[in-house]
Amino acid sequence: MLTSAAAAVLSVSMLAGGVSPAEARPAGVNRPELLPKRFARVIDVAGFLSEGQEKRLEKDLERLEDDTGYKLRVLAQNYPETPGLAVRDFWKVDDRSIVFVADPSLGGNILNFNVGAEVDLNVPKSFWSRLSGKYGNKFFWQEKGEDASIEAAVIAIDTCLREPPGPRACANIQ
């Protein structure tokens, strides 16, 4: 049986057609009132990031999108405070999108990713689990902070997406 926090993460993980567990699909959370008034690549409803960190990540994600065509979006939440499914339309999630949800309310791993089909073709599936294992584990984010987990993951994703595709792509997570 899924907890309500797990249901929230799964509802966001279903946004771009990502793979979710074969268990019953939970009803998605949809709270558009939690979205910013204007477009942002980073939505921090949990308050994990400082204003400066948010601005820096916004610029980094804009550069990544301009350079590679991949859309990396970051949602920092603490269930039940989440816009949930409302981000799908807000961000125009598609096959070249990566929705990165940082949510410590599950108690274990803070990092959750939903990747579009085109991203999935170019990034090994093992990359996402290795990334979660390194920067999303409870020991890392409780010692360093949720913000450090988010920033380290964004840097690793940026590095990976800039590598040429192939059998050795995204092999190292810095």
Q: What average pLDDT does the structure give for the chain?
A: 86
Task: Round the CA-based radius of gyration of the chain to a whole number and report it.
Answer: 15
Task: Tell me the longest C-alpha to C-alpha distance in the chain.
Answer: 43
Q: Which residue has the tokens 């690793």?
A: 156
Report the pLDDT value the prediction gives residue 6, as an integer from 0 to 100.
40
Give the chain's domains with CATH numbers: 4-162 (3.10.310.50)
pTM of the model: 0.84
Report the pLDDT value the prediction gives residue 19, as an integer from 0 to 100.
43
The residue type of 42 is V
16-32 confidence digits (pLDDT tens):
444 444 343 335 688 99
Burial status of residue 130 (CB atoms within 10 A of its CB: 0-12, 13-18, 19 or more): middle
What's CA 8's distance to the chain center, in Å? 13
